[in-house]
Amino acid sequence: VQLQASGGGLVQSGGSLSLHCAASGRSFSGATMGWFRQAPGKEREFVAAIRWNGGHTYYDDSVKGRFTITRDKAKNTVDLQMNSLKPEDTAVYSCAACPTCILSSLRDFRQYGYWGQGTQVTVSS
């Protein structure tokens, strides 16, 4: 399984960025795809997730209303549209896949067995 993340960069506070994750190597039917982030000196934290089959989405409260996660089943991609960015959104963002996540565990990065490389998002004030 390969997850290839891209799209990070530097943006001013209030700006927007779109992250892109290309997935390959297996069927993702039944899987949950997630985005996590890790800021320097902090633990990795959940950002958003989407059910591959039904498209149900889940967000951390800190990004709800600002970020949107989508998936394209035909292209095997998962995107994270980030609007109204804040300096506290600065982190390395990684996409991940969890083949068997249940609702109670999809926010736990330890449940995700497949990870892409991170992409840096920096929001200046």
pLDDT per position as a tens digit, 79-121 = 999 999 999 999 999 999 999 898 889 999 999 999 999 999 9
pLDDT per position as a tens digit, 6-49 = 999 999 999 999 999 999 988 888 899 999 999 999 999 999 99
- Looking at residue 27, its pLDDT comes to 82
Mean pLDDT of 47-64: 96
Going from the C-alpha of 73 to that of each of 32, 53, 55, 125, the distances in angstroms are 12, 8, 10, 36
- Looking at residue 25, its pLDDT comes to 87
- Looking at residue 28, its pLDDT comes to 85
Is residue 38 within 8 Å of 44, Cβ to Cβ? yes
Scan for tokens 């992250």, then name that residue. 19
Residues 6 or more apart whose Cβ sits within 8 Å of residue 73: 52
Q: Tell me which H or E stretch contains 4.
A: strand 2-6
Rounded to whole angstroms, how far apart are CA atoms 16 and 43? 24
- Looking at residue 115, its pLDDT comes to 96
- Looking at residue 1, its pLDDT comes to 83
Rounded to whole angstroms, how far apart are CA atoms 115 and 80? 15
- Looking at residue 29, its pLDDT comes to 85
Rounded to whole angstroms, how far apart are CA atoms 87 and 93? 14
Task: Determine the length of the chain.
Answer: 125
